Amino acid sequence: TGNGDDTEDNQIIAGTAPGFEPFEMTRDGELVGFDIDHLEAVVEETDYELVEWEEYEFDSLIPALENERIDVIAAAMTITEEREESIAFSDPYYSADQSVLVETGAGFEPESLEDLEGSQVGAQSGTTGEGIVQDELIDEGLIEDDDYTSYDNYVYAIQDLERGLIDAIIIDEPVGNSFQDDHEVEVAFTYETDEQYGLGIRQGDDDLQAALNEGIAAVEESSEYDEITQEWFGE
């Protein structure tokens, strides 16, 4: 049987999707980032014990949660109505907008989604960024289906952008800003979405949900939230 049964003895396994700096990434072979420190601090406030981190592609996290291979998702995951049809979320712990990333010096400087008309666009599979490509670019007739490339991980999209294989990437703004610091890419403009990140849990895991919400509040009220933010965003 799945590890999810362990929620009964208060041991939980967390799942995340590295390659989404500074929320979760691999550094010197180690999983690090805002979400890692934040969830660990949150669980520390509860009667639960976080025994393991499992790594998945972003679009495999919800299936892994549903199949009880993991008990909580900490992956900068936006709380959406569509996701709430299959899983539950904690209270929000971070807000973010989307951004449009382009290659530095490529001469392409879009200022709005309309300016992406006819361009080659990339995003990560299963993300809200991909939802924007579908709803605001493809459905609006600004680009064709095959102008869009869906990547398993944003890291591959960044590589293609730097090679000039695609023109733009739609990605959460804090992550776009972070990639801008260490790659030949830059945020062309911000697209306001005011997304709220939540920890994903199974529907019906009410005790875990209540505990995580109390932990999130405790971490925010203490100095810990600011310390973790400072550590990963230098703010």
Binding site residues, ligand GLN, CB under 6 A: 17, 20, 58, 75-78, 124, 127-128, 172, 195
Please, what is the minimum distance in Å from the beta carbon of residue 223 to ligand GLN?
Answer: 26
Please, what is the minimum distance in Å from the beta carbon of residue 105 to ligand GLN?
Answer: 26
Characterize the bridge pairing of strands 121-124 and 168-172: parallel
Element (H, E) at 205: none
d(CA 121, CA 106): 15
Q: Which is nearer to ligand GLN, 4 or 18 (CB)?
A: 18
List CB contacts of 34: < 8 A, sequence separation 6 or more. 22, 23, 24, 94, 228, 229, 231, 232, 233
Q: Which is nearer to ligand GLN, 46 or 90 (CB)?
A: 90
Write phi, then psi, for 46 (nearest 5 degrees): -115, 180
Please, what is the minimum distance in Å from the beta carbon of residue 20 to ligand GLN?
Answer: 4
Q: Which is nearer to ligand GLN, 78 or 209 (CB)?
A: 78
Q: Which is nearer to ligand GLN, 103 or 172 (CB)?
A: 172
d(CA 142, CA 124): 19
Please, what is the minimum distance in Å from the beta carbon of residue 151 to ligand GLN?
Answer: 10
